[in-house]
Amino acid sequence: MLALVALADGRALRFNELRRRLDGVTQKMLTQTLRALEREGLVTRTVFPTVPPRVEYGLTALGEEIAQLVTRIAEWSASRADQLCAARATFDRRAPHPRPLSA
Instruction: Chunk the chain into consecutive blocks of 10 residues (it has 103) and report each block's average pLDDT, rounded to whole numbers.
Output: 90 95 94 98 96 94 95 94 95 79 67
What predicted TM-score, i.e. pTM, was given to this entire model?
Answer: 0.77
Strand order in the sheet with 54-59: 13-14, 54-59, 43-48
Model pLDDT, residue 10: 87
Model pLDDT, residue 95: 78
Domain range summary for the chain, segments of one domain joined by +:
2-89
Q: For residue 29, what is the enclosing H or E element?
A: helix 27-39
Model pLDDT, residue 101: 73
CATH of domain 2-89: 1.10.10.10
Q: From residue 88, how far is each of 80, 82, 83 by CA, in Å?
A: 12, 10, 9
The answer to whether 56 and 14 have CB atoms below 8 angstroms apart is yes
